[in-house]
Amino acid sequence: MSEDPKGESAVLRDTAVEARKAATEHDSAMASRTGAAQANTSGVQAQQQQKDEDSDDGEDGSIIQRLKRILHLDNELRAGRAPLLDSFDLQGIASYIQSGKAKRIIVMCGAGISVNAGIPDFRSPGTGLYDNLSKYNLPRPEAVFELSYFRKRPKAFYTLAKELFPGAFKPTPTHCFINLLAKKGLLQRCYTQNIDSLERQAGVDPDLIVAAHGNFDGAHCIDCGRERPIDQVKAAVLSGKPCRCSTCNGLVKPDIVFFGEGLPERFFRLTASDFDDCDLLIVLGTSLVVQPFASLVGQVGENTPRALINKEKVTGGGGFSGLLSGRGSSSSFNFGDSNCRDALFLGDCDEGIWQLSRLLGWETELKGLVDDLPVVDWEADVKDSAKAVAAEESSDKKASL
């Protein structure tokens, strides 16, 4: 019991009132998860325990008994595992990075990091993006990202793509922080669910990015499968006219993963080695509901600390891969009593990132990166692409005459 000096000294510092509160909270938390443990207890013991608990309330002497039980249970739960972080917050993460233990950091990100860039959650109806699509009478909003619908009415997607096309938005401080990690040689990889390419626009080397749900960086014909120049797609997006394959006249689609499509091969190829090597996982702006992306949280080793910076607490995510990898339920985020490695910041991503940067002493560098972001005039850029494509096509026609 006294083998847990951190727990004991913490308890000794507590006032009696706080201790009683802790005991009550702990018991109620335990009540929901001790089903299995209680099943191992004989009926008589269980009854006795219940009786003890009922009569303990309000008795100062029994608080000590109760605290002893908590320490005992904590020891059991931790099963000898010492905390991997000094504290389970941004300070804990900053200290861990400063200690030099984090040299291969993986960042996982979702829509939450692009909200401050002005990109709405385009998969949700009622965000404004879909208003322009009303003339297409979509059977359901998601249809715009379905291959069968795209074949029939590609214009709907091309209309939406105009609003989402990279270059129309500016990366956020969070995107710049990912670039800062890369510049310091600490970024193993950035796995993003976002299709906005803002990580690349912030300066992150494309080799360090895995766009799990694809992006507008490339395009393919959906019939013959040939790769098509993205400039042609850009020009088509601007004109609102779907792009056709010059070989088979099939429709050309930017490399965004549509509903029902498999994830890019690169995602599966890199996850295996990346997550085995990872020594710190930072999850930014995602509630980890979309699989298989969410399951990556459980693919880091059990001795790898993890951080979640998000508007809401997420405790799921790892279960799916936990089952596959045999790491069990410990692969999900755990912010409960038995937590030994998961740090949490609840709030706006950029706010969390500025705080973390301050704690790391990186604030000035991050500010520099934010200030130096290039200004992209994507419409002018696209017009140039359109001119280039038109010139190419007319020279092709002349050559064939």
Determine contact, residues 327/336, Cβ cutoff 8 Å. no
Which single residue is written with the structure tokens 């847990």? 4
Query: Rounded distance, CA 30 to CA 336, Å?
Result: 10
Question: Does 176 appear as a known binding residue?
Answer: no
Long-range contacts at 24-31 (CB < 8 A, ≥ 24 apart): 26/70, 26/73, 26/337, 27/53, 27/66, 29/336, 29/337, 30/73, 30/337
Query: Rounded distance, CA 188 to CA 107, Å?
Result: 8
- Shortest distance, position 261 Cβ to Zn ion, whole Å: 17
Q: Which of 26, 175, 213, 220 is catalytic?
A: 213
* Selected range binding Zn ion among 24-32, 197-205, 244-252, 356-364, rule: CB under 5 A: 244-252
* Selected range binding Zn ion among 17-25, 78-86, 97-105, 240-248, rule: CB under 5 A: 240-248
Decide whether 20 or 228 has the Cβ nearer to Zn ion.
Answer: 228
# residues contacting Zn ion (CB under 5 A): 7
Q: Which of 141, 167, 250, 316: binder of Zn ion (CB under 5 A)? A: 250
Decide whether 176 or 219 has the Cβ nearer to Zn ion.
Answer: 219
- Shortest distance, position 138 Cβ to Zn ion, whole Å: 26
Binding flag, residue 37, Zn ion (CB under 5 A): no
Per-residue tokens: 182 = 């890369």
Per-residue tokens: 307 = 């951080």
* Selected range binding Zn ion among 80-88, 113-121, 177-185, 245-253, rule: CB under 5 A: 245-253
- Shortest distance, position 259 Cβ to Zn ion, whole Å: 22
- Shortest distance, position 143 Cβ to Zn ion, whole Å: 23
Decide whether 31 or 224 has the Cβ nearer to Zn ion.
Answer: 224
- Shortest distance, position 244 Cβ to Zn ion, whole Å: 8
- Residue 220 bears catalytic tag: no
Chain positions 60 to 79 lying near Zn ion, rule: CB under 5 A, are: none
Per-residue tokens: 33 = 């998860």
- Shortest distance, position 252 Cβ to Zn ion, whole Å: 8
Decide whether 226 or 358 has the Cβ nearer to Zn ion.
Answer: 226
Decide whether 115 or 221 has the Cβ nearer to Zn ion.
Answer: 221
Decide whether 248 or 346 has the Cβ nearer to Zn ion.
Answer: 248
Per-residue tokens: 149 = 């619908």
Per-residue three-class SS string for 282-341: EEECCCCCCCCHHHHHHHCCCCCCEEEEECCCCCCCCHHHHHHHCCHHHHCCCCCCCCCC
Per-residue tokens: 368 = 């520099």
Question: Does 278 appear as a known binding residue?
Answer: no
The phi, psi pair for 364, rounded to 5°, reads: -65, -40
Per-residue three-class SS string for 33-69: HCHHHHHHCCHHHHHHHHHHHHHHCCCHHHHHHHHHH
* Selected range binding Zn ion among 113-121, 247-255, 335-343, 363-371, rule: CB under 5 A: 247-255
* Selected range binding Zn ion among 205-213, 232-240, 243-251, 322-330, rule: CB under 5 A: 243-251
End-to-end CA distance of the chain: 90
Question: Does 221 appear as a known binding residue?
Answer: yes
Question: Does 190 appear as a known binding residue?
Answer: no
Query: Rounded distance, CA 194 to CA 188, Å?
Result: 18
Binding flag, residue 248, Zn ion (CB under 5 A): yes
Query: Rounded distance, CA 193 to CA 176, Å?
Result: 17
Chain positions 143 to 162 lying near Zn ion, rule: CB under 5 A, are: none
Decide whether 198 or 221 has the Cβ nearer to Zn ion.
Answer: 221
Q: How many CB atoms lie within 10 A of CB 390?
A: 11
Chain positions 178 to 237 lying near Zn ion, rule: CB under 5 A, are: 221, 223-224
Q: Burial of 281 by CB count in 10 Å (0-12 exposed, 13-18 middle, 19+ buried)?
A: buried
- Shortest distance, position 157 Cβ to Zn ion, whole Å: 17
Query: Rounded distance, CA 275 to CA 269, Å?
Result: 11
Q: Which of 176, 236, 245, 278: binder of Zn ion (CB under 5 A)? A: 245
Annotated active-site positions, please? 213
Residues that bind Zn ion (CB under 5 A): 221, 223-224, 245, 247-248, 250
Annotated binding site for Zn(2+): 221, 224, 243, 248
